[in-house]
Amino acid sequence: MEEFDVAVVGLGALGSAAAYHLAGRGARVVAFEQYELGHVRGASHDTSRIVRTSYGSAAYVRFAQAAYREWASLEAATGERLLTVTGGVVFIPDTGPYDAADFARSLSESGVPFELLGPDEVRGRWPQFVVPTGVTCVYTPDSGIAHAARTVATLQMHARMRGADLRDRTRVDRLLPDAGGVVVRTSGGDVRARRVVVAADAWTNELLEPLGIRIPLEVMQEQVSYFAPSAPEAFDRDRFPVWIWEDEECFYGFPTYGEPTVKAARDVSEIHMTPAERTFVPSPERTAELAAFLTATLPGSGPLLRTVTCQYALTPDRRFLIGPLVEQPDIVVALGAGHAFKFTPAIGLALAELALGGETTDDLTAFAVDATVAPAM
C-alpha cells in the first residue's frame, strides 16, 4: 500500500491550498478529486470572488488580515496576479438584522481603515447606486476581487511543482482510521496517510457518517447572474467597488472584470438539495428577484446576459469549521460555509500546519470543529 504523510480529499480552493502548503513544507502529500480538476459541481469555479476584511466579527477580520498576507505570499511565490483591489461597500439597512456598529467595532479593533457613509455620500462617490434613506454604508478601501478559477489552477500547478501527487477523477469512498493513521479507500486503490484533510464541502458527511460523526450542513444550489450595462465604463473596477447589501436577504456584486458585464447574486438561495439532486438549472424566481433588486439599486446594470450555478454547504450560523475531529484527531476538516474563498491561502496554511501536527500561525479558536459535530443518526 502506498504511504503518505497527508492525504487531502477534495481539490477545490481549500483542498488545493492545503496541498500547496503541505508540499511546500516537504510533506509527502497525495490529494484526491472525484471529478476533473476545475469542475463546476462545487463552489470554486467561475471567475470572481469578493475579498474583504469588512466583517462584523473581529475573529473574521483578523483572519481576513492573515489571508491578505498569504495572498501576497502566494502571488510572490508563483508570479501570478490573483487579487485586484477595487474598494468595497457594505450596505446595512438600519432596520435590518445587521448593525453597522458591529462592523465599525471589529474593524477598529483590528486597525483596518474604513469609513461610515450615508446615502448622499455614497451617491456622491458612486452615482451608479440608488440608496434610500435609513441605510449605512461601510466602506473599506482594501476590498476587491480574487480570480477564482485562476487561483485554484495556480495552487494545483504549484502544488505539483512542489511534489504533491494530485489525482483527479478518483473518488474517495471510505476513511478507515487505524493505529498507523488512516487508510483512504479510493476508486483507484487504497493508500495510507498519517493524517487526512477533508475539504469535501457538501460531500463531507458521506465520509464522516460511517465513522459515527455528522456535521449539520444545509446544502443548496446557488446562482450568479451577469448583466450587460449600456455604459460598461461606468462600472469599471477603477470607478466602481465590489458591494454587498446586508439585510434579511443579502445581495452582492462586482464591477466589470474581464468582460463588460456586471456580476451579481443573492446570497443563500434556499434552494435545498443534495449534490446528487442538483439540477444545474437556474431558478427563474431567483433570477427575477435579483433583476428587480438591481433595477431598484443599480439601474444602469442592464439586461440579463447569463446565469450560472454553484453549490453551498452551510454550517450552523455559517461559522467556519477548521480543525481536527475530537473523535478522530488524525482527520482534519475544513468547511467554509459559502464565504471562505477570500480566506483560501490562509485556510490552506492552517490545514497544512494542523495536518503536520504543529501550532497554527493564526488563531483558529473561533473555528473549532468540536462545538458543531453531532453523532451520526
Q: What is the pLDDT of residues 10-47, one digit of tens each?
A: 999 999 999 999 999 999 999 999 999 999 999 999 99
* Domain end call among 289, 312, 335: 312
Task: Specify the amino acid at residue 193.
Answer: A
pLDDT value at residue 4: 98
Sign of the C-alpha dihedral, residues 123, 137, 98, 227? positive
- Each residue's pLDDT tens digit, 225-255: 999 999 999 999 999 999 999 999 999 999 9
C-alpha cell, 180:
498507523
Check if the beta carbon of residue 26 is closer than 8 Å to that of residue 32.
no
Domain that holds residue 346: 2-44+149-217+317-375
299 shares a domain with 241: yes
State the Rg of the chain over Cα.
21
List, for the chain, all residue ranges whose pLDDT scores fall below the cut of 70: 371-377
Do 191 and 249 lie in one domain? The reply is no
Instruction: Give the pLDDT score at 375.
Output: 52
Q: Specify whether 111 is located in the same domain as 239.
A: yes
The pLDDT score that the predictor gives to residue 244 is 98
Q: pLDDT at position 267, please?
A: 97
| Residue at which a domain ends, from 312, 328, 343 | 312
Q: What's the pLDDT at 81?
A: 97
Cβ count within 10 A of residue 359: 6
Residue of 358, 336, 373 lying closest to 63 (CA atoms): 336
pLDDT of residue 370: 76
Determine the pLDDT at residue 98.
Answer: 97
CATH of the domain at 163: 3.50.50.60
Are 115 and 226 found together in one domain? yes
DSSP state of 283: P
Q: Is the pTM of this model over 0.85?
A: yes
| Cell triple for 215 | 456535521
Helix (H, G, I), strand (E, B) or coil at 24: helix
Note whether residue 52 is domain-resident.
no
**Residue-level pLDDT at 340:** 98
Is residue 38 domain-shared with residue 169, that is, in the same domain?
Answer: yes
Do 130 and 223 reside in the same domain of the chain?
A: yes
